[in-house]
Amino acid sequence: MSMAITTSTASHTSLASVTLEVADPEAARRFYTALGVDTRIRLRASEARSTGFRGFTLALTVSRPATVDSFLGAAVDAGAAVLKPAAKSLWGYGGVVQAPDGTIWKVATSAKKDTGPATREIDEMVLLLGVEDVKASKQFYVGQGMTVARSFGGKYAEFTSGESSPVKLALYKRRGLAKDLGVPADGTGSHRIILGSTTGPFTDGPFTDPDGFAWEAAAPLTPAPSTTSAQS
């Protein structure tokens, strides 16, 4: 499998914020504070209809297996349901949980052995959108001013993040993403997620991409450190 990398290093448009639509913002805030990601996401009250797979996951990349277990344990203690117990894989070590509000989270590391004790540090946070056609969606976002950082044919694409972005945007085939998360791919209704940008055409007003993911203008969140790349 070949990997194509763009020659441009400038990213005119990037993901500046992620807003989750939840039925109970206060309960969700308590959960995400316990998980340790409350400064990286926003919450908005919504009763929008949604069934089955919402078409995305938020992934945390961390340094070692012990840290994966620490984050997953905190999530379960705060009320999350385990979708895939933490285990070794071809890519490293990781597990998947579903928050009480329905959002699916994956926590993983490329390391298969611990080189130290668990920490609460997040190396990178990635929003993976499950799309029908990765190549077509990638070209759509390039047309909106985004820069491709990594691309694996029609399977996966990752975009360059802006300095103010706490989350990196990536694309994955919807059915492949659902399989990786351990859930059926079928789903209807709202994605229950809003993507925000401070630059580019997304700031001209509410906007929806070809797979139905909504964008709007948003002020950036507090910058969070990002040191490594993540691939599902």
The pTM for the full model equals 0.88
Give φ, ψ of 131 to 5 degrees.
Answer: -120, 160
């390391």: which residue's tokens? Answer: 111
Return d(Cα 53, Cα 109) in angstroms, integer: 24
CB of 193 closer than 8 Å to CB of 213: yes
pLDDT of residue 221: 59
Q: Which residues contact 224 (CB under 8 A, 6 or more apart)?
A: 39, 40, 122, 125, 166
- Give tens-digit pLDDT for 71-115: 999 999 999 999 999 999 988 999 999 999 999 999 999 999 999
Convert the pLDDT of each residue in 22-64 to its tens digit.
Answer: 999 999 999 999 999 999 999 999 999 999 999 999 999 999 9
Instruction: Tell me the pLDDT band of 203, cut-offs 50, 70 and 90.
Output: confident
Contacts 24+ apart (CB under 8 A), 86-93: 88/112, 91/231, 93/65, 93/68
The secondary structure of 135-175, three-state, reads HHHHHHHHHCCCCEEEEECCCEEEECCCCCCCCEEEEEEHH
pLDDT digits over 177-200, tens only?
999 999 999 999 999 999 998 887
